[in-house]
Chains A and B, each alone.
Chain A
Amino acid sequence: MLAAPLVILSMQEVVQLIHARTLAPRVLTTSAILVASLILAGCSSNPAPAPGASNDAGTPVSGGTLVYASGDAEPSCLDPHVGGNYPQALASSQYLETLYTKDEQGELIPWLASDSTVSEDGLTRTVKIREGIKFTDGTALDAQAVIANFKHLLDPATASSTGYLALGKIKDMKAADSSTLELTLSTPDNSLLESFSMPWVAIQSPEALKRTQEENCVAPVGTGPFKVESWKKQDSVNLVRNADYVRPVANPEHEGPAYLEGITWRFIPEAATRYAALQAGEVQIIDNAQPDTIAAAVKNDTIKHLDAPRPGASNRIELNSSKAPFDDQRVREAFIHAVDVNAGVESLFFNTTKRSYSPLSSVEPLGYSDESLFGFDPAKAAELLDAAGWNERDADGYRTKDGKRLSLTFPVSTSQSVPAEQSLFEQLQATAKESGFEIKINLLDLSSWYGALAEHNYNLVSAPYTKVGPSVLSILFHSASTVPAPSGYFANLSQVKNPELDTLLETAGATKDEAERKDLYAKAQKLVLEGYYLLPLYDQQNHFLYSSKTQGIGATTAVASPVFFDTWLSK
């Protein structure tokens, strides 16, 4: 928001300048316009890139503080068990670690756990906990500590959403010995280890969890390479190096603690300001980089780009099938053929992402994609709408049926969508109009947006959902997900309730046969795509831009949030 008041203020100053009585009016009018032009032009010119930046990695040096600028909303709690959103995952990946994680090849590997086995009936899972690891408050990691974390997640008082859902099948847990955890499940769950790899299920010190939620939110205690030193709200979180850090899985090239002395985790919501701060060298890495700045950055050698698509669902628009007009499949199909997504994705995203035709992210190996369903075809849309009875047009050119306009309400959360995405929605609105659909885009803050969803006051909605593995499909499309969770949120926004789909998802989530799992999830995805419950747009975006003086960036968690253990600052 910094750039914004600058422009407004300059206008105000110009008007006030004109009002000043000491100077001749004619001179003033001209100079006022000149001043305004200069101020505006000044805003648009970039600071010169810093000279002498080198791309040589060289030998890592220890020391220095990395300044990270986040465009996401500042978390209200630094403990990702509480609620469980992506901004929390980004920050907590530096100070908390998970039982499992994914390696560079995308393979699931044990991290704080050392191994895991499951019984023949799939109802008992045994997890071996790695020994010799300590939390930063000195407490030792053992099976009891993990149980304390799971209990914390499942306790309604914690108000966990993401982690709570991920552990939903755990019925009972006990420590067979100090390093062996035995979990009894209500139904077999083949996604449990994937769930264990998510920051929302990260393991914290059981001693620290005994504090009040308020205290734990301010300074969660984990086993990670950094620890939370202080949190100045509305400004930054101060992280310092964990000097005693031992990487659970040894890396011969980097032993001991992190290279960085600390990380300053700042919040700069305004995209242009964030990018300007990076260009000026005020910060070393930014997230939520805008497509046009990524395109500009790859052309110069002082700024580098990390593209780390998130796992889970693709970015998509859900069509609310529980109410008119989308309770009619023909109208859903017509809508999908009435909007031109490709033209928008190509022009607005500057080749930083590709069009998606799948409910799942491109990094999900079990994703099923069908491009043939999603062609832009206004003639077909017209045919379907005529057949569905929407065959009259009103004075504004919108289709009507029984005197009612074919109108769609589309609440958009301004904090969950980048400007390019909002522009894409405006483009869909313009192309849909030609087929006779009226789309009402309501830009809302997050709480009003949740409110609109809770009241079922939407026909179209776009909500990101990040989760490791294809079990996200159950969260998004199982009929049980139409029932609100303790947090009040229900993830099945398309409101699809289909017993056949429920059975497919349940069987897919329980089978021990990997081939069968893949086949069943493919069938489930085929069913929701062919039922036109969603319009896939593009991959979930996760772009970082960083100064080329910052070395050793690229390692990420299973949810693609960067970890700065290997990061160092070259002179």
Chain B
Amino acid sequence: MSSHLQQLTPGDPVLSPHAARSTGSGTGVWKHRLKLVFPVLVLGFFTLAAIAPSWLAPFDPLAINPADSFSPPGPGHLLGTDESGRDIYSRIIYGARPSLLIGAAATAIGVGLALILGTLAGFGGRWLDAGVGRILEVLFALPGLLLALVFIALAGPGVGTTIIAVGLTTAPGYARLIRGQLLTLRHSPMVEAATVLGRSRAKILTTHLLPNALTPIAVLGTLGLGQAVVWAASLSFLGLGAPPPAPEWGAMLSAGRTYLSLAWWMTFFPGLAIVLVAAAATVLSRVLNQGEKS
């Protein structure tokens, strides 16, 4: 999962914001804006769902109606009902909040932790770089989901633990990226100029290095948001997230798999929601990246 983060090197286009590419023509701008339509619509819709689910959902996500169980998608229930007659569409809408919240909070923790580790490694001198580097390598050696599972096994399941687990797991990727950025920037003419002018190291870090390193982080963070949503859903799917019958996409996917041959909609639509959010975040990050370059 984190392979796209691990494989990035400072020479990568994502990490070279100043490697200009000419996309500034009129049609280019239009193409650029068109690409924003899909992610903005999807993320906008689910963000609205997370903020005010009752505006979008016609039913109470927990209200049961056994007489109406396993109804296929149709006029009464847009995306069908589950084994207890709960409305799938309403549950997906209410599920947006935990899913996006876990995704956003986990990414924030991952990036925050990475900033500290990456700065220490990239700007703290040779020994710190070596020390932090080894820690990151150890973390990379463990598959991400395994690391999250170990953390949950130690701390117990729940929404809070899931956020921290996913955050911890994504941190090494961001940290290595920040380190790489700082190392590249340290030898750039502007930093050399600042050093010659006698600026303090702290001043150089805050005014020159971090702002420049953060742009690609913002791009990757958006990408990571989608990834974190998928991870959170995976953990809930395994029964390590929100307890039943809370509407949560991964948990819905898990509940539906028992009835896969009877009621495909119980699995398909929560799965589609996860795919849409992950895809939208990915497209958005790509567009942001290209916008950055132009």
A-to-B contact residues, CB < 8 Å? 3-4, 7-8, 11-12, 14-16, 18-19, 25-26, 29, 32-33, 36-37, 40-41, 43-44, 46, 271-272, 275, 290, 292-293, 296, 340, 343-344, 346-348, 414, 419-420, 422-423, 426-427, 429-431, 441-443
- Which residues does chain B contribute within 8 Å of A18, judged by CB atoms? 278-279, 282-283
Whether the Cβ atoms of B257 and A15 lie closer than 8 Å is: no
Shortest CB distance B87–A (Å): 13
Whether the Cβ atoms of A272 and B260 lie closer than 8 Å is: yes
Shortest CB distance B99–A (Å): 13
Asked if B237 lies at the interface with its beta carbon under 8 angstroms from chain A, I say: yes
**1/0 per residue B245-275: CB within 8 Å of A?**
1000000011101111110100110011011
- Which residues does chain A contribute within 8 Å of B272, judged by CB atoms? 33, 36-37, 40
A290 to B271, CA, bound (A): 23
Whether the Cβ atoms of B66 and A343 lie closer than 8 Å is: yes
A271 to B260, CA, bound (A): 11
**1/0 per residue B222-246: CB within 8 Å of A?**
0100110010011001110001110
- Which residues does chain A contribute within 8 Å of B204, judged by CB atoms? none
Asked if B136 lies at the interface with its beta carbon under 8 angstroms from chain A, I say: no
Whether the Cβ atoms of B245 and A426 lie closer than 8 Å is: yes
- Report if A44-B66 is in contact (Cβ < 8 Å); known contacts: A7-B271, A414-B239, A423-B83: no
Whether the Cβ atoms of A44 and B64 lie closer than 8 Å is: no
- Report if A25-B244 is in contact (Cβ < 8 Å); known contacts: A272-B257, A272-B260: no
A427 to B63, CA, bound (A): 9
Whether the Cβ atoms of A7 and B253 lie closer than 8 Å is: yes
- Which residues does chain A contribute within 8 Å of B274, judged by CB atoms? 11
- Which residues does chain A contribute within 8 Å of B66, judged by CB atoms? 340, 343-344, 346-348, 427
B-to-A contact residues, CB < 8 Å? 1, 3-4, 35, 38, 62-64, 66-67, 69, 83-85, 223, 226-227, 230, 233-234, 237-239, 243-245, 253-255, 257-262, 264, 267-268, 271-272, 274-276, 278-279, 282-283, 286
A443 to B245, CA, bound (A): 11
Whether the Cβ atoms of A15 and B244 lie closer than 8 Å is: no
Whether the Cβ atoms of A12 and B262 lie closer than 8 Å is: no
Further pairs besides A8-B237, A16-B1, A419-B255: 12, Cβ < 8 Å: A8-B234, A11-B233, A15-B226, A15-B230, A43-B260, A343-B67, A347-B85, A423-B84, A426-B244, A430-B84, A442-B243, A443-B239
Whether the Cβ atoms of A3 and B283 lie closer than 8 Å is: no
- Report if A33-B275 is in contact (Cβ < 8 Å); known contacts: A40-B267, A44-B268, A271-B258: yes
A344 to B85, CA, bound (A): 10
- Which residues does chain A contribute within 8 Å of B283, judged by CB atoms? 18, 25, 29
A160 to B38, CA, bound (A): 63
Mind listing 13 A-B residue pairs with CB under 8 Å?
Answer: A4-B237, A11-B234, A11-B274, A15-B282, A18-B282, A25-B283, A26-B35, A292-B258, A346-B66, A348-B69, A420-B83, A423-B255, A430-B245
A340 to B65, CA, bound (A): 11
Shortest CB distance B96–A (Å): 17
A interface, over-half SS: helix
Whether the Cβ atoms of A429 and B237 lie closer than 8 Å is: no
A318 to B19, CA, bound (A): 69
- Which residues does chain A contribute within 8 Å of B35, judged by CB atoms? 25-26
- Which residues does chain B contribute within 8 Å of A19, judged by CB atoms? 4, 223, 282
Chain B's closest residue to A3 (CB) is B257
A292 to B83, CA, bound (A): 10
Whether the Cβ atoms of B258 and A419 lie closer than 8 Å is: yes
A40 to B243, CA, bound (A): 24
Whether the Cβ atoms of B254 and A12 lie closer than 8 Å is: no
Whether the Cβ atoms of B268 and A40 lie closer than 8 Å is: yes
- Which residues does chain B contribute within 8 Å of A16, judged by CB atoms? 1, 3-4
A422 to B259, CA, bound (A): 14
Chain A's closest residue to B265 (CB) is A44
- Which residues does chain B contribute within 8 Å of A36, judged by CB atoms? 271-272, 275
Whether the Cβ atoms of A443 and B262 lie closer than 8 Å is: no
Whether the Cβ atoms of B67 and A292 lie closer than 8 Å is: no
Question: Which interface residue of B83, B253, B262, B286 has the most chain A CB atoms within 10 A?
Answer: B83
A32 to B64, CA, bound (A): 34
Chain A's closest residue to B290 (CB) is A25
- Report if A296-B244 is in contact (Cβ < 8 Å); known contacts: A4-B237, A11-B271: no
Chain A's closest residue to B12 (CB) is A21
A46 to B271, CA, bound (A): 19
- Which residues does chain A contribute within 8 Å of B254, judged by CB atoms? 4
Whether the Cβ atoms of B243 and A44 lie closer than 8 Å is: no
- Which residues does chain A contribute within 8 Å of B3, judged by CB atoms? 16
Chain B's closest residue to A290 (CB) is B258
5 smallest CB-CB distances across A and B, nearest first, come from A44-B264, A347-B66, A343-B66, A419-B258, A430-B64
A66 to B230, CA, bound (A): 41
Whether the Cβ atoms of A25 and B286 lie closer than 8 Å is: yes
Whether the Cβ atoms of B63 and A430 lie closer than 8 Å is: yes
- Report if A7-B275 is in contact (Cβ < 8 Å); known contacts: A43-B260, A348-B66: no
- Which residues does chain B contribute within 8 Å of A420, judged by CB atoms? 83, 258
